[in-house]
Amino acid sequence: MSDTVPDLSELLANSPKNWGKWGPDDEVGSLNYLTSVEVMRGMAAVRQGKVFTLQVQMGNPQGDPLWPGRRPAQRVNVLDHGHFMCGKGPKFPGNMEYCDDMMVMYLQGSTQYDALGHVWYDDQIYNGYDAMTTIGGTAKAGVLPIAERGIVGRAVLIDMARFRGKDCLDKGETFDHNDLCAAAEAQGVTIEKRDILIIRTGWIGSFYKRGADDFYKDFIEPGLTYSPELVRWFYEMEIPNLVTDTIANEVTIDPVSGVALPLHSALMRNLGVAFTEIILPDALADDCAADGQWSFLYVAAPLKVVDGSGAPVNPVVIK
């Protein structure tokens, strides 16, 4: 690691951008690559009719894996049989009874999509919008345009943990695009242009095995690590969506530059790559390893939160 941590504007000075590629008003970035042709390509990957959902459970009594400092989702009953037992429930003709509850949570406190305006540097978010547009709500490049659009295409799962012979990658363990391609070759699948890229590290699954104390101790996630070559690869491959079983889709602190989460800026802010985080793909990965099918149809749509910087989602995979 360098003695002096560079500013993102210095680190990414020559990094490619997709700003303006889809016009000055674009707010969904590289998801524009997912045309009807890509949707049909995803549908052509369906061969068995198997269905998997990738969201982690919300409000699990064991806890929810989420970024340190955020509070887990809190679900509470506001109406149940007890209200009717004590005569405080609402009255309906025919004596119907029902239960009701509510949840308070961070919009990025579960499996979720980041808005493209979620991170920035130099006072500009994706597509050159002023960072002032985030005050009071993400008015530009928020999650709503992504939610209104939806995400459908061919996806490929790369199981980095299995490739390295582990249940879970180690804390701070890194990999790059060359490792992804090597793992894909070992799996017998090809990462194609405009594929939705799903990466399994085993990290989120380990939360439920090791417990919160060990999970958060000396917190640093495994994941992709920044390099100009990796960013160029994403750019040339026109990857629309990066989906991983980590909280931040990349190693927490870049081991070379010392910069925190540089790919959020290089990929999301500059290229408009949609980030989907905190998935639980372990059952899907086991099935792929068993039947050898690592590509499939991916369908997702985050909640339509107006001015949201992110929103929960339950992605669906169909093999």
Indicate the number of domains in the chain: 2
> Distance between CA 116 and CA 31 in Å, rounded?
11
Contact between 295 and 155 under an 8 Å Cβ cutoff? The reply is yes
Q: Is the pLDDT of residue 203 over 80?
A: yes
Specify if 1 maps to a domain.
no
Taking only the tens place, the pLDDT of each residue in 265-288 is: 999 999 999 999 999 999 999 999
pLDDT attached to residue 62: 87
Taking only the tens place, the pLDDT of each residue in 122-141 is: 999 999 999 999 999 999 99
Q: Is the pLDDT of residue 2 over 60?
A: no
Count H helices and E strands in the chain, helices first.
12, 13
Contact between 287 and 117 under an 8 Å Cβ cutoff? The reply is no
For the chain, give the number of residues.
Answer: 319
* Nearest alpha carbon to residue 152 among 274, 289, 68: 274
- The band of 91, judged by pLDDT with boundaries at 50, 70 and 90, is very high
pLDDT attached to residue 37: 98
Specify if 4 maps to a domain.
no
> Distance between CA 231 and CA 199 in Å, rounded?
16
Q: Is the pLDDT of residue 66 over 70?
A: yes
Q: Which two tokens stand for residue 278?
A: 């905190």
Q: Does residue 190 share a domain with residue 85?
A: no
Contact partners, residue 154, CB within 8 Å, separation at least 6: 38, 41, 42, 44, 45, 192, 194, 195, 196, 295, 296, 297, 298
For range 306-317, the mean pLDDT = 98
Contact between 106 and 96 under an 8 Å Cβ cutoff? The reply is no
Q: Does residue 171 share a domain with residue 303?
A: yes
Specify if 2 maps to a domain.
no
- Phi and psi, residue 288, nearest 5°: -65, -40
Half-sphere exposure of residue 55: CA atoms within 13 angstroms, side-chain side? 20
Q: Does residue 232 share a domain with residue 91?
A: no
Q: Does residue 88 share a domain with residue 230?
A: no
Q: Does residue 153 share a domain with residue 88?
A: no
- CATH number of the domain enclosing 267: 3.50.30.50
Specify if 277 maps to a domain.
yes
pLDDT attached to residue 278: 98
SS3 of residue 310 by DSSP: strand
Beta strand residue intervals within the chain, DSSP E: 51-53, 74-79, 100-104, 112-114, 151-159, 174-175, 196-200, 223-224, 241-244, 274-277, 295-300, 310-312, 316-318
Q: Does residue 237 share a domain with residue 310?
A: yes
> Distance between CA 227 and CA 254 in Å, rounded?
10
What does the DSSP assignment read for 213-260?
Answer: HHHHTT----EE---HHHHHHHHHHT--EEEESSSSSS-SB-TTT--B
SS3 of residue 143 by DSSP: helix
For range 212-238, the mean pLDDT = 96
Specify if 7 maps to a domain.
no
Taking only the tens place, the pLDDT of each residue in 159-199 is: 999 999 999 999 999 999 999 999 999 999 999 999 999 99
Per-residue CA distances from 27 to 24, 148, 268, 298 (Å): 9, 11, 11, 21
Q: Does residue 216 share a domain with residue 88?
A: no
pLDDT attached to residue 12: 97
Other C-beta atoms lying within 10 Å of the C-beta of residue 145: 19
Q: Is the pLDDT of residue 120 over 80?
A: yes
Q: Is the pLDDT of residue 237 over 90?
A: yes
Q: Does residue 135 share a domain with residue 84?
A: no
Q: Does residue 207 share a domain with residue 131?
A: yes
Specify if 233 maps to a domain.
yes
104, 126, 153: which is the final residue of a domain? Answer: 104
pLDDT > 70 in the chain, percent: 99
| Domain membership of residue 272 as a residue range | 12-66+107-318
pLDDT > 90 in the chain, percent: 97
